[in-house]
Structure 1
Amino acid sequence: MLSVDEALARVLKGLAPLGTERVLIGQAHGRVLAEDLAARLTQPPFDASAMDGYAVRAADVAALPATLKVVGESAAGAGFRGRLERGEAVRIFTGAPVPDGADTIVIQEDAEAAGNGVVVKHAVPGQHIRPRGQDFKEGEVLLRAGTRLNPRALMLAASMNHAELTVRRKPKVAILATGDEVASPGTVLGADQIVSSVPYGLAALIEAQGGEVVLLGIAKDDPESIVTLARTGGGADILVTIGGASVGEHDLVVETLRGEGLDLAFAKVAMRPGKPTFFGRLGEQRLLGVPGNPVSALVCGYVFLVPMLHALLGLTVDDRPLPLAVLGEDLEANGPRQHYMRATSSWREDGERVVRALPSQDSSLVAAFAEADCLIVRPPHAPPAPKGARVKIIPLKA
Structure 2
Amino acid sequence: MKPLLPLEDAQKRLIAMARPLPAETVPVEEALGRYLAEDVTAKRNQPAADMSAMDGYAIRFEDRDGPWQLVGECKAGSPPCPPITAGQAARIFTGALMPDGADTVVMQENVERDGDMIHLTSDPSPARGHHVRHQGGDFKAGDIALESGTYLKPAALGHAVIAGLGSISVGQCPKVAILSTGDELIKPGSDTKPHQIPASNDVMIAAMLAGLPAQSRSISRIKDDMESLCEALESAKDCDIIVTIGGASVGDHDLVAPAFQRLGGETDFWKIAMKPGKPLMAGKLGNSLVLALPGNPGSAFVTATLFLLPIVRYLAGAKKHMPVIHIANTSTPLPATTQRAEFLRAQVDGQGITAFDNQDSAKLSVLAAANALLIRPAHSPEQPIGAAVSYIAV
TM-score range relative to shorter protein: over 0.9
Question: 1:179 maps to what in 2?
Answer: 182
Pairwise CA distance, 1:259: 1.0
Find the residue that maps to 2:113 and give its secondary structure: strand
Question: 1:351 maps to what in 2?
Answer: none
Q: Does 1:221 align with 2:224?
A: yes
Structure-2 separation of matches of 1:253 and 1:321: 31
Question: 1:84 maps to what in 2?
Answer: 84
Q: 2:392 aligns with which of 355, 372, 394?
A: 394
Pairwise CA distance, 1:320: 10
Q: Does 1:200 align with 2:198?
A: no
Pairwise CA distance, 1:79: 4.0
Q: Return the TM-score normalized by structure 2.
A: 0.94
Q: 1:374 aligns with which of 372, 375, 382?
A: 372
Q: Return the TM-score normalized by structure 1.
A: 0.93
Asked whether the 8 Å contact 2:73–2:81 carries over to 1, the reply is no
Question: 1:72 maps to what in 2?
Answer: 72
Structure-2 separation of matches of 1:381 and 1:42: 54
Structure-2 separation of matches of 1:321 and 1:291: 23
Structure-1 separation of matches of 2:358 and 2:176: 31
Asked whether the 8 Å contact 2:324–2:392 carries over to 1, the reply is no
Q: Does 1:148 align with 2:151?
A: yes
Question: 2:327 maps to what in 1?
Answer: 324
Question: 2:103 maps to what in 1?
Answer: 103
Find the residue that maps to 1:208 and give its secondary structure: coil
Structure 1 residues 254-269: aligned runs within 5 Å? 254-269=257-272
Question: 2:39 maps to what in 1?
Answer: 36
Moved more, 167-176 or 249-258: 249-258
Pairwise CA distance, 1:279: 1.1
Structure-2 separation of matches of 1:13 and 1:206: 21
Residue identity in the other structure for 2:372: C
Pairwise CA distance, 1:125: 4.3
Q: 2:133 aligns with which of 125, 130, 134?
A: 130
Q: Does 1:10 align with 2:13?
A: yes
Find the residue that maps to 2:106 and give its secondary structure: strand
Pairwise CA distance, 1:323: 2.8
Structure-1 separation of matches of 2:295 and 2:261: 20
Asked whether the 8 Å contact 2:150–2:318 carries over to 1, the reply is yes
Asked whether the 8 Å contact 1:246–1:291 carries over to 2, the reply is yes
Pairwise CA distance, 1:26: 1.6
Question: 1:291 maps to what in 2?
Answer: 294
Structure 1 residues 248 and 125, CA, compared in 2 at 3 Å: closer, same or farther? closer
Question: 2:25 maps to what in 1?
Answer: 22
Residue identity in the other structure for 1:220: K
Give me the CA root mean square deviation: 1.8
Residue identity in the other structure for 1:295: G
Q: Deviations over 1:95-141 (max 9, x none)?
A: 11110111221111221111122223353242221111111111111
Q: Deviations over 1:41-97 (max 9, x none)?
A: 111111111111111122333xx4x33221110010124432212322111111111
Pairwise CA distance, 1:191: 4.2
Q: Deviations over 1:164-198 (max 9, x none)?
A: 11100011110001111111212233441101111
Find the residue that maps to 2:345 and give its secondary structure: strand
Asked whether the 8 Å contact 1:79–1:99 carries over to 2, the reply is no
Q: Which runs of 5+ in 1 are unaligned?
A: 349-353
Structure-2 separation of matches of 1:227 and 1:190: 27
Identity of matched residues, %: 39
Residue identity in the other structure for 1:134: G
Structure-2 separation of matches of 1:44 and 1:254: 59
Pairwise CA distance, 1:210: 2.3
